[in-house]
């Protein structure tokens, strides 16, 4: 369910806003970039215990390398997608986004999907 919602919200973000204008005039903020990089690295590193715990239930014939790469690929794809979505949403919305992240993202879906989007997004926003 969450993947479908996230695909839809990404589609809405890309198709309803002029991302070309945002991407055409990029501003590099060194400290913010380093903060984002450290958050991304810590996100990946904190997933290690889950891999170790889950991998002990796999058949003994499963290669360690296979477990690592499938897990790393999934967390990398998920983190890159979510963080890129958030960065683009903030770039497009500016001050309307900060402090109102969940209402802004849910608003991308339109009124017809308000309740399903809130149910899909709100639990992750509280963690």
Mean pLDDT by 10 residues, the chain (127 residues): 80 88 81 86 80 80 85 83 87 84 82 73 60
Cα–Cα distance, 83 to 32 (Å, whole number):
13
Note the pTM of the prediction, 2 decimals.
0.72
Which pLDDT belongs to residue 53? 77
User: What pLDDT does residue 123 have?
Assistant: 67
| Residue 125: predicted pLDDT | 57
pLDDT at residue 86 in the model: 86
C-alpha distances out from residue 79 to 49, 72, 89, 96, Å: 17, 10, 15, 23
Q: Which of 110, 85, 81 is nearest to 97 (CA)?
A: 85
Q: What is the pLDDT of residue 80?
A: 85
For residue 31, give both structure tokens: 């400290």
The full set of domain ranges for the chain reads 2-23+30-125
């Amino acid at each position: 369910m969450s993947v479908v919602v996230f695909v839809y919200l990404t589609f809405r973000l890309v198709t309803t806003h002029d991302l070309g204008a945002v991407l055409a005039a990029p501003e590099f903020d060194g400290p913010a970039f380093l903060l984002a990089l450290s958050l991304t690295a810590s996100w990946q590193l904190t997933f290690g215990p889950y891999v170790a715990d889950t991998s002990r239930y796999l058949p003994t014939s499963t290669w360690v390398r296979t477990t690592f790469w499938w897990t790393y690929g999934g967390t990398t794809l998920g983190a890159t997608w979510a963080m890129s979505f958030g960065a683009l949403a903030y770039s497009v919305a500016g001050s309307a986004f900060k402090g109102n992240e969940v209402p802004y993202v849910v608003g991308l879906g339109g009124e017809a999907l308000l309740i399903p989007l809130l149910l899909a997004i709100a639990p992750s926003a509280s963690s």
